[in-house]
């Protein structure tokens, strides 16, 4: 069975002191918690100090973005080898804010995914539709197109996590119902099976992201194709993040 993964995307939040307090609370709370994997994704400037904070714990470290080239004259960018050097094991690629605010298209995201997995790190590849696309009945087509942009047999399945994050539910307080989330996750899995085969895809984790909170985490985690969460605002409060982790752990332990 798939072990749930709870990933926290801190976005552009936390000073060093605040980050140490947050990770300290998470670290204490996950002691003894099994049947769930935990990932924190701080801003770039916090990666090295947070690597030291999570060393020797069950908490994994990820980055929120990356440049596709290994080095070069790209002012303000960070490469995959740099992320690996400070202890990152995961990189978020294609978050809706990167797509819609910073204009990253499918071709560029495909290069980023390839760069991440070629370096031996795991790509957390995000897909999801806008409100207009959902209301037009285009959710499945949009998600399928985004999957096709970056995922092929050349991308190792064991170095890939897919995160479905409906754009209309990110930071809005709106959340896809458990049924809506399951519908899209159940659509995604056979699309991945077309690439990797059923047995391999049965082990591949698909996360839900979009206003995940302690109050809805258990219902989301209980869906058969929802394998954890990519958490935004709630991951910035240790107690809330731990409650989501606990909800996923309970589901993981029961399967």
Active site residues: 95, 165
Q: How many CB atoms lie within 10 A of CB 87?
A: 15
Please list, in sequence order, all residues whose beta carbon lies within 8 angstroms of the beta carbon of residue 253, skipping any fewer than 6 positions away. 34, 35
Q: How many residues does the chain have?
A: 255
Half-sphere exposure in the Cβ direction for 15 (13 Å, CA) = 2
- 5-9 and 228-231 beta bridge pairing: parallel
* Residues in a beta bridge with 162: 125, 206
- DSSP class of residue 46 equals G
- DSSP class of residue 64 equals S
Half-sphere exposure in the Cβ direction for 225 (13 Å, CA) = 18
- DSSP class of residue 2 equals P
Cα gap 153→145, rounded to integer Å: 16
CB 30 within 8 A of CB 40: no
- DSSP class of residue 211 equals S
Cα gap 77→79, rounded to integer Å: 7
Radius of gyration from C-alpha coordinates of the chain = 17
């Amino acid at each position: 069975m798939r072990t749930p993964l709870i990933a926290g995307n801190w976005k552009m939040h936390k000073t060093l002191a605040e980050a140490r307090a947050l990770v300290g609370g998470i670290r204490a709370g996950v002691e003894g918690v099994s049947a769930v994997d935990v990932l924190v994704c701080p801003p770039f400037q916090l990666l090295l100090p947070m690597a030291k904070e999570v060393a020797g714990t069950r908490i994994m470290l990820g980055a929120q973005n990356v440049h596709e080239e290994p080095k070069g004259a790209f002012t303000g960018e960070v490469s995959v080898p740099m992320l690996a050097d400070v202890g990152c094991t995961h990189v978020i690629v294609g978050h809706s804010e990167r797509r819609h605010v910073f204009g990253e298209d499918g071709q560029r995201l495909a290069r980023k995914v390839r760069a991440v997995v070629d370096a031996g790190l795991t790509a957390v590849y995000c897909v999801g539709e806008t409100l207009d696309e959902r209301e037009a009945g285009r959710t499945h087509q949009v998600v399928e197109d985004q999957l096709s942009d970056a995922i092929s047999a050349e991308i190792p399945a064991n170095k890939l996590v897919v995160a479905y994050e409906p754009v209309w539910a990110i930071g809005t307080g709106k959340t896809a119902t458990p049924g809506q989330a399951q519908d899209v996750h159940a659509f995604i899995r056979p699309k991945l099976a077309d690439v990797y085969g059923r047995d391999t895809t049965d082990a591949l984790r698909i996360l839900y992201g979009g206003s995940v909170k302690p109050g809805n985490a258990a219902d989301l985690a209980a869906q058969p194709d929802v394998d954890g969460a990519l958490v935004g605002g709630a991951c910035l409060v240790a107690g809330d993040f731990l409650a989501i982790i606990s909800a996923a752990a309970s589901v993981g332990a029961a399967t």
